[in-house]
Structure 1
Amino acid sequence: MNSSRFQNINDLREVLGERAEPANSPAERWSTITRDLSNIELPDEFDARKVWPHCKTISKIRDQSRCGSCWAFATTGVMSDRLCIHSNGTVNVDLSVRDVVSCCDYCGAGCDGGYSRRAWDYWITKGIVTGGTYEDKEGCQPYPFPACSREPNPNLFPPCPREPYDTPECQQTCVQGYNGTYEKDKYFGKSFYYVATDEKQIRQEILLNGPVQASMSVFADFANYHSGIYHHTVHYYVGSHAIRIVGWGEQYGVPYWIVANSWNTDWGEDGFFRILRGKDECAIETSVQAGLPQIRRLSDFH
């Protein structure tokens, strides 16, 4: 493996924390949204970062560091994006990855991987507090692990630790100095649904409601991605990864998705990547998930 961020397959596998629901799991109580698009013409290009520039989280790239928490990053990222979009910019916060990773006891195993669908359920039933990155220290519960680099001679960020982090303990309090309480800081979801496995349906969902969360199969050559429109040429499967689709476009006749990753800004195209669209590349169009937020009244804010 020639990637500077991942020295070997195990390095890569450790950050691929998206888990598939067990075959014997209870019947899904969530619906799949399929819209009638017969009379709708979708734009050839769409970038949520440009359409909703006042929503800071859409263009923000975070770093899961050496923790398999992609499932929590992707879900809370989309939740945060949609809170801002559907509140017309009045709610512009990061929802806490730490809260989900450490306190959702039925979501999986924290830094050892989890189920993104259950994170959506946690948002609806329990609520999620605010929390930015380790570096910005924003919100009730910021992320506990620093952004890191696996570059041979890192200059933007410190080197990643040699061993993966343990899942942080659940703490139902806000960090010292934060002006608010854990219970009153929570934001809740109103709904969750799957988006039909069809690229036009996915585009329409993003157009109407904002970025979506998806799972993708990761093959060994994905670690070496730097720029361009990715499609896998190596068939060595490494694991499943949760990501955030923020838009789409076309280059030289090749359609692509614009996707936000959680491996820092020194990976890919400033933390984003483009991937072939319309061919279910790496199964990225198979399990697309989304939901809508509850919007607090201004009088509810503290």
Structure 2
Amino acid sequence: MRHFFIFSCLISLLSAYFHGSGHNSVRGGSCADFLHKNHMTSCCLGRNDECYMIHFDTRCYCDQFCGKNSTSDCCPDVIREHNVNKCPAKAGICQRNGMVYQNNQRFMDNCNHCRCKNGVVKCKNRPCLINPDLLSEINGSNYGWTAANYSFFWSKTLEFAYLHYLGVTLPSYRQKPLSSDFSGHVQSSYDFRKEPYFQGKYPNGIKSQGMCAASWAFSMMDMVTDRASKYSRKPMDRSPSVEQLIACSSINKKRNKCSSLSVDQGWLSAQNMTGIADTECYGNRDVQSGFLFTCKMKSSTCPGPANSTKKFYVSKAYPVWPQSKSIMKEILMNGPVQMVFKIYDDFFMYKSGVYSPSRRAQSFIRNQYHGVKVLGWGSENGMDYWLAANSWGPDWGENGYFRIKRDVCSTEIGKHVYGAWVYIK
């Protein structure tokens, strides 16, 4: 029985390739047919007696060994150049990234639509969110941070990302920052998540804005939750509804409320509401779809199953003086801040380390900004950084967080910083 099993396995291996047989015994078999039928792009490596076709009534081979003896046993269409056998692809067949495509076959190459036409691949040339060449260049250099190929960003264009994953503009008017005291010493590192009243468990987890282009709202509500914890000296058991803030904004006149607002418009939206309900009252169930058309908060009654709600109230936002020590003192005194910075295409691929734009980084659409919550700072390998919470889910970056180099002019990090007073009722 054992010998029969081994014999069966050998038979299976020997029949792994399509060899032509049958109909090819009448006409001449070719390596082009062999590659096509076996979904291959080149001759078999070394000597492989199973890489053959039936050429009329005899075998001819499609490997790198054929033709090295005194009699040529290669199939007639094998070309030998510089002592290397080359097996031609069938006419009209296309090869790309190790894949074989039939004539007129359509396919996707990352974010671009492609078509095989008469042996030539023609693709659209739109910039993709995941750029493999740029990713390799970053990881092969000493930038102080690493990049990753995120599956949830693959096949997306940069244009799509700028339209759906950001969502904030600078204030429509310039407001004078609060006066600040630059004197005295500030500790070299700080992380709001390690405050003693969290007792080892930080409750304000990373959010995902999905395709809702409203980072203004996510960074605001993240900051509001933390400041409420700071003022009460205890963790918040509930957090404000970012979906209510977006969907019920009286400032945003667009039909789809999942859209960008300026920083001051975002805070004015929150001020104009009679308090922002918690997520048990007004859930965040629909926001990630990127489409919010209707405000469900028609009265004081919760649209969700909760019978009661905590409401979060905010003051008018105030700019923080754009100097590192001033920002640090603001965080120590009042809690995390909202920070807005300029986006470059390589930031989407950030995985770990201290981010700063790479040499090949570009601002795909000029002067596009992203809003995040900054909750700490530190230094690594001589690079000073801000610790920030993003809103692209916990699978991005350092479990949803990232570190970004301080005082970098190109990103304008630390230039646009905002705080507000919070109370709960």
Output the TM-score relative to the length of structure 2: 0.58
- Measured after TM superposition, the shift of residue 131 of structure 1 is 3.6
- Measured after TM superposition, the shift of residue 58 of structure 1 is 6.4
- Measured after TM superposition, the shift of residue 100 of structure 1 is 0.8
In structure 2, how many angstroms separate the alpha carbons of the residues matched to 1:102 and 1:205?
30
Partner of 1:136: none
Partner of 1:143: 284
Structure 1 residue 116 and structure 2 residue 263: aligned? yes
Secondary structure at 1:273 match in 2: strand
Residue ranges of structure 2 left out of the alignment (5+ in a row): 1-129, 132-148
Q: How does 1:38-49 map to 2 (within 5 A)?
A: 38=183, 40-49=184-193
- Percent of counterpart pairs with the same letter? 27
Q: Rg: which structure is higher?
A: 2
- Measured after TM superposition, the shift of residue 114 of structure 1 is 1.8
The answer (yes or no) to whether the contact 1:83–1:92 under 8 Å persists in 2 is no
Partner of 1:9: 158
Partner of 2:250: 105
When residues 102 and 146 of structure 1 are mapped into structure 2, their CA distance, relative to the original with a 3 A threshold, is: closer
RMSD between aligned alpha carbons?
2.4
For 1:209-231, what per-residue CA distance to the aligned partner results, in whole angstroms no more than 9, with x for missing partners? 11100111111111110101000
Structure 1 residue 275 and structure 2 residue 404: aligned? yes
Partner of 1:299: none
- Measured after TM superposition, the shift of residue 106 of structure 1 is 0.4
* 2:185 partner amino acid: E
In structure 1, how many angstroms separate the alpha carbons of the residues matched to 2:177 and 2:388?
22
In structure 1, how many angstroms separate the alpha carbons of the residues matched to 2:167 and 2:287?
18
* 1:201 partner amino acid: S
- Measured after TM superposition, the shift of residue 177 of structure 1 is 1.9
Secondary structure at 2:216 match in 1: helix
When residues 165 and 90 of structure 1 are mapped into structure 2, their CA distance, relative to the original with a 3 A threshold, is: closer
In structure 2, how many angstroms separate the alpha carbons of the residues matched to 1:270 and 1:262?
11
Secondary structure at 1:247 match in 2: strand
Which of 169, 174, 191 lines up with 1:19 in the alignment? 169
- Measured after TM superposition, the shift of residue 51 of structure 1 is 1.7
The answer (yes or no) to whether the contact 2:283–2:304 under 8 Å persists in 1 is no
Partner of 2:377: 248
- Measured after TM superposition, the shift of residue 34 of structure 1 is 2.7
Partner of 1:221: 346
In structure 2, how many angstroms separate the alpha carbons of the residues matched to 1:20 and 1:78?
18
The answer (yes or no) to whether the contact 1:123–1:187 under 8 Å persists in 2 is no
The answer (yes or no) to whether the contact 1:34–1:201 under 8 Å persists in 2 is no
Deviates more, 1:197-206 or 1:115-124: 115-124
When residues 52 and 66 of structure 1 are mapped into structure 2, their CA distance, relative to the original with a 3 A threshold, is: farther
Query: Per chain length, whose mean CA-contact separation is higher, i.e. which structure has more relative contact order (CA < 8 Å, sep 6+)?
Result: 1
Secondary structure at 2:281 match in 1: coil
- Measured after TM superposition, the shift of residue 259 of structure 1 is 0.5
- Measured after TM superposition, the shift of residue 252 of structure 1 is 1.3
- Moved segments of 4+, more than 4 Å: 55-59
- Measured after TM superposition, the shift of residue 189 of structure 1 is 1.7
How many pairs align?
265
- Measured after TM superposition, the shift of residue 192 of structure 1 is 2.3
For 1:4-63, what per-residue CA distance to the aligned partner results, in whole angstroms no more than 9, with x for missing partners? 2322202311111112344xxxx56x551231222x200000000012552977651000
Secondary structure at 2:411 match in 1: helix
Residue ranges of structure 1 left out of the alignment (5+ in a row): 133-138, 148-163, 297-302
* 1:270 partner amino acid: N
When residues 87 and 108 of structure 1 are mapped into structure 2, their CA distance, relative to the original with a 3 A threshold, is: farther
In structure 1, how many angstroms separate the alpha carbons of the residues matched to 2:197 and 2:388?
16
In structure 2, how many angstroms separate the alpha carbons of the residues matched to 1:90 and 1:224?
32
The answer (yes or no) to whether the contact 2:171–2:265 under 8 Å persists in 1 is no
Secondary structure at 2:269 match in 1: helix
